[in-house]
Amino acid sequence: MKNRLRVLRAEVNWSQMELGMRVGVSRQAINAIETGKYDPSLPLAMKLARLFGKRVEEIFELEETD
Amino acid sequence: MAERKQTDPNLQLIRQVAAASFLWAITFVATKSEWLGHYDSSAGRIALVAVGTAGFLPVVFVYAKSIRMQDEFTQRIHLVALAIAFALVAVVSYVVDLLHQAHFIPQLPATGLWALMVVIWFAAMIVTPRYYR
């Protein structure tokens, strides 16, 4: 699954740690999501979407291989 | 109105881990000692099992609690690490049983198996996050 988390985070100039604290996960979790190695749960994806004022599908996108 | 004192959940957990470990250490020593290690009477044998089990359960409880307090990503790493530990211990226990059956080795205590599982679990907890970097 692709995501635009890194871009959105850069736009508001937050560190991975800061973003993680805002949604209640660790910096490592944010890093794993950004690098596409970990797909977040639906509640976490929705928290992220709400934080950035976007819909979930505006941040996360299925790839052909998913 | 009196304010309720808030305790840091991490500090609370550390205290619980310390208390559970201390309790386990005491009951572990007690089960190995002379006065509880008597197998002559039924009462002594029941006490041995009851004290040993009662001392160990809180350790399991606080470790489960500590995992539940983590975020979903860390819980995922725990899950992967536990799965690795489970698989390796399954293989080891199977092979150990065969070795014992073939009279290559004596019967080993089952306690050694979960100790091995804990060691592999912790080792996998160190290795697994490297995949997600």
DSSP B55-102: HHHHHHHHHHHHHHTS-HHHHHHHHHHHHHHHHHHHHHHHHHHHHHHT
Buried b (16+ CB within 10 A) or exposed e, A42-62: eebbebbbebbeeebeebbee
Q: Inspect the interface and report whether the beta carbons of A29 and B131 lie closer than 8 Å.
A: no
Residues of B engaging A, defined by a Cβ cutoff of 8 Å: 71-74, 76, 129, 131-133
pLDDT digits 0-9 by tens, A12-60: 999 999 999 999 999 999 999 999 999 999 999 999 999 999 999 999 9
pLDDT band for position B40 (cuts 50, 70, 90):
confident
Enumerate the residues of chain A whose CB falls inside 8 A of the CB of residue B80. none
Q: Are A26 and A54 spatial neighbours (Cβ–Cβ below 8 Å)?
A: no
Angle at B132 between CA B126 and CA B133, to 5 degrees: 90
- pTM confidence score: 0.79
User: Residue A33: closest CA among chain B residues belongs to which residue?
Assistant: B132
Q: Is B3 exposed, middle or buried (0-12, 13-18, 19+ CB in 10 A)?
A: exposed
pLDDT at B32: 80
Probe site for chain A from B70, B71, B76 (most A CB atoms < 10 A): B71
Interface pTM (ipTM) of the complex? 0.88
pLDDT digits 0-9 by tens, B45-67: 888 889 889 999 999 999 999 99
Rounded to whole angstroms, the Cα distance separating B71 from A40 reads: 11
Q: Are B90 and B120 spatial neighbours (Cβ–Cβ below 8 Å)?
A: no
Per DSSP (E only), the strands in A1-66 are: 2-3, 60-61
Q: Inspect the interface and report whether the beta carbons of A26 and B72 lie closer than 8 Å.
A: no
